[in-house]
Amino acid sequence: MAIGIHRPTKITLDRDALVHNINVAKAPFADDINIFAVVKANAYGHGIREITQMAKQAGVTGFAVAILDEALEVRELGYEKEPVLVLGITSIEYIVDAAINGISLTVGYLEWLKAAQPILDSEEIPPLRVHIAVDTGMGRIGVQTPADLKDMVKFLREHTREFNFEGMFTHFATADAPTTDYFETQVANWDAAIAAVNPLPKYVHAANSAATIWHPNAIQTNVLRLGAGMYGFNPSGTDLDAPMLKPVLSLTTEVVFVKQLAKGKSVSYGATYHTSENEWIATLPIGYADGFLRRMQGYHVLVDGQPAEIIGRVTMDQMMIRLPKKYPVGTKVTIVGQSGDQQLSLVELATYANTIPYEIVTNLSTRIKREVK
């Protein structure tokens, strides 16, 4: 019996939109630019199985994830040759799994390499693929000075049986900001890091979506690490425009119950909503356990191209909306996406929730089925 198909709540993924977004992102770069699809956190909640497949067909050269388990999942999904880079720090105790599966690990300091080296010193284990993280101003992980970077490179090149020095990269903190001073400081630090390494490794990369979209000519990079931009939501929220992106994800459901409530009745936990007249109220099979946040009360969805307010508290698995008029059970409801000539974006939803679209999508739970259009 197939599990996960018995509820109308679903995420629909638009293959053409994803292809479009990748093409738009790489247009300003050289033809041989590498694209690593960033598929951490279940492909930003979109569904790792579906997105890896769509991205591969769209021509991406590799994948990037946050943790080793996600990298192994990508291998298990059948991507055996593509580079898969773990962007976070991996504990030394797991490095043999990484090496055997050809996973590329991010390393941020020399002691890590020194501790890993004797473990990897074996004929049975292929050289561990390593990308050095360079902290040019993000302040999260990575080596801070060209001198320390050089020490790491030297150690890697002295231990080529244990390590394959495959890449170096940095990450921008403000590539999505309206002002560019801090970004330019990071670019200068990155240029200095590159100048300190000779020869350079195969992958030298600095571009997240924001840098790709808004600063393609300012950065030295031969890989684009595309997350938000590939999924088609604006990495800056509303700070900068990205009109060329097309959203890949829509979230829809259906009315499963509908009733008229008389004036003065209340709806949901805490009885916080009261009808001000006779109202048509529909119940939708989605709640905060699906990642649709409780604080979305008061926001709206689209029914037949018209807004319908979310009334009363969002519960774990269900929520109620006020319909503009009577609609039958089975009526389609759009939470993210297009309905008639109306559109609801992830950015709008996130703005209402006082957060960023990244946090909204990564909360969409695996209970929601995913379909590719």
Ligand X SMILES: *Cc1c(COP(=O)(O)O)cnc(C)c1O
Closest CB to ligand X among residues 65, 320: 65
The reply to whether 54 sits in an annotated binding site is: no
Contact set for ligand X, span 231-250 (CB under 6 A): 235
Residue 269 bears catalytic tag? yes
140 known ligand binder: yes
Per the residue annotation, which of 114, 154, 269, 326 is the catalytic one?
A: 269
Nearer to ligand X by Cβ, of 227 and 247: the residue is: 227
| 209 part of the interface to ligand X, by CB under 6 A | yes
Footprint of ligand X on 71-100 (CB under 6 A): 87
- Least distance (Å) from ligand X to the CB of residue 226? 6
Least spacing, CB of residue 205 vs ligand X, in Å = 9
227 interacts with ligand X by CB under 6 A: yes
Asked if 215 touches ligand X (CB under 6 A), the answer is: no
Supply 118's token pair.
Answer: 């004797």
40 is catalytic: yes
Cα–Cα distance, 371 to 368 (Å, whole number): 10
Mark residues 26-45: x for contact with ligand X by CB under 6 A, - for none.
------------x-x-----
Residues binding ligand X (CB under 6 A): 38, 40, 87, 171, 208-210, 225-229, 235
Binding-site members for substrate are 140, 316
Kindly list the catalytic residues. 40, 269
Binding-site members are 140, 316
